[in-house]
Amino acid sequence: MGRAAYALGTAVEVRVNNDSGFIFEGHEYSLLEALEAQDVPVLHSCRGGYCGCCRVRLEKGLVNWHQESLVPLADDEILCCCCTPQSDVSIILPEE
């Protein structure tokens, strides 16, 4: 499964919980991998779009889905394991 809509090397900013962000340069396969590389404590399990653990709220920006979600999501929710940022994004992690 590809990520054709994402131009590798296009850097965008990822902001988490309205805090300072980091730059996503497209080297990671998914937003989940990028968050892990930044030591952001995002929950995950299946990495395949079917458990829903990595769900976050997309407050601002656009993402490309490289894999379809297999769980129901609210209109403003995304699965980090299934997406890459398409523009600068701001995400809100679920409260523990």
Binding range to ligand FES, per CB under 6 A, among 3-11, 12-20, 21-29, 52-60? 52-60
Is residue 1 within 8 A of residue 81, CB to CB? The reply is no
- Radius of gyration in angstroms for the set of CA atoms belonging to the chain, rounded to a whole number: 12
Nearer to ligand FES, 9 or 72 (CB): 72
Secondary element (H or E) of residue 60: strand 55-60
Binding range to ligand FES, per CB under 6 A, among 14-22, 39-47, 58-66, 86-94? 39-47
Q: Which residue in this structure is represented by tokens 């990595």?
A: 54
Site for ligand FES in 6-25 (CB under 6 A): none
Closest distance of CB 79 from ligand FES, Å: 5
Question: Which listed residue (22, 33, 51, 93) binds ligand FES by CB under 6 A?
Answer: 51
How many binding residues for ligand FES (CB under 6 A)? 12
Is residue 12 within 8 A of residue 88, CB to CB? The reply is yes
49 counts as binding ligand FES under rule CB under 6 A: yes
DSSP-derived secondary structure for 20-44: -EEEE-S-SSSHHHHHHHTT-----
